[in-house]
Structures are given as C-alpha cells and as structure tokens.
C-alpha cells in the first residue's frame, strides 16, 4: 500500500475518506461564492483554492462536495510523497495531520518541523504537539486557527486532540 492512497484502499478507505471529509469540512466552513481567506487567497466552497478560483466565482453544493473530496485526495497523495511515515500512524492521527496539511498547504507541511523532524523520526507525539504552533497568519494569532489546532469548539475536537487520541 506504500504507493496507494489510504483513502482509496477499499471499504476501509471509503470510511476513512468520509471521516476526513466530514472533519475537514466542519472546520473549513462553506461558501458557494469565492472570497479572500484570512491570508488573502481566493477560496471557494470548503477551502478550495487554485488558479481557477477568482472572486465572484460560484459553485453548487454538489460541486463543492466533489471539490472537497478531490482536494483531500490530492493533498493526501502529496503528503504521502513527502511523508510516507503517515502510512504507519492511526486513522485519527492520520486525519488530524492531513487536515492540518490541507489547511496550511502541502508545501508548508512537507517543509515543517512537524514532518521533517518529528514524524520522520518516529516522534508521533511530538508531531501532534507541533500542531499548536500553526495558529498564525502574517504574524498574528488567528482565533479560528487556535480553535482548529488547539482548543476545539463545542462538538468539534481540535487537530491536536484528534492527533493525540490516535496514539
């Protein structure tokens, strides 16, 4: 399974993809009209970005659902390319780290201490603890990122807590 997406690996993969989609979707929110996110990036639906996204762009609920699934799978493939160690962690830890990578971008994720130092050396707890550091945009602490990464909100567990729950 080293070269195959965990999300595409049979029935278990379908369940994992559904769980990841629900988790990430709950934190991303949803907008059927493109907007600028807190970093100034044109975004639509549940966190979809890309060269085709422009202000004023519109999407249907079905298009947004399809974009999210495709985005999660694309992020997962990029993450497994830079961090094959993700294949060895629990599903909860896997979903938490992939959600974080979805949110910060795989380029930043793959170059992070979380991946390069902690995960690659087998320090899964240390990798989970690193999530607490990713709460800034342009040097400012963002409450929504603090909620997503560290504190959670009623009915939603933080990435850090989900990651640690998988240990």
- pLDDT tens digit string along 75-124? 999 999 999 999 999 999 999 999 999 999 999 999 999 999 999 999 99
Q: How confident is the model at residue 21 (pLDDT cuts 50, 70, 90)?
A: very high
d(CA 50, CA 155): 30
Q: How confident is the model at residue 3 (pLDDT cuts 50, 70, 90)?
A: low
- What average pLDDT does this structure show over 22-48? 95
Polymer length of the chain:
167
d(CA 109, CA 83): 10
Domains of the chain: 6-165 (1.10.530.40)
d(CA 57, CA 54): 6
Whole-number percent of the chain with pLDDT over 70: 98
pLDDT digits (tens, 9 = 90+) for 133-146: 999 999 999 999 99
Q: How confident is the model at residue 165 (pLDDT cuts 50, 70, 90)?
A: very high
Q: Which two structure tokens, joined as six digits, stand for 83?
A: 């961090």
Q: Which two structure tokens, joined as six digits, stand for 96?
A: 């938490």
Angle at 60 between CA 43 and CA 37, to 5 degrees: 15
Reduce the DSSP state of residue 43 to 3 states and report it: strand
Whole-number percent of the chain with pLDDT over 90: 89
User: Hey, which residues are catalytic here?
Assistant: 28, 37
> Dihedral of CA 74/67/27/55: which sign?
positive
Element (H, E) at 90: none
| CA max distance for the chain | 44
Q: Which segments within the chain are labelled E, that is strand?
A: 31-36, 42-45, 136-137, 140-141
């Amino acid at each position: 399974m080293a070269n195959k997406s965990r999300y595409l690996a049979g029935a278990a993969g379908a369940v994992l993809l559904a769980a990841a989609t629900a988790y990430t979707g709950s934190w991303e929110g949803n907008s059927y009209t493109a907007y600028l996110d807190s970093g100034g990036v044109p975004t639509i639906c549940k966190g979809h970005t890309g060269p085709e996204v422009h202000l004023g762009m519109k999407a249907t609920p079905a298009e947004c659902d399809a974009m999210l699934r495709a985005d999660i799978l694309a992020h997962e493939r990029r993450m497994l390319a830079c961090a094959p160690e993700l294949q060895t962690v629990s599903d909860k830890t896997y979903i938490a780290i992939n959600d974080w990578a979805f949110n910060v971008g795989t380029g930043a994720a793959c170059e992070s201490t979380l991946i390069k130092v902690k995960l690659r050396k087998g320090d899964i707890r240390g990798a989970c603890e690193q999530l607490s550091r990713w709460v800034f945009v342009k040097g400012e602490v963002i409450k929504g990122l603090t909620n997503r990464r560290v504190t959670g909100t009623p009915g939603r567990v933080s990435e850090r807590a989900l990651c640690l729950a998988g240990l």
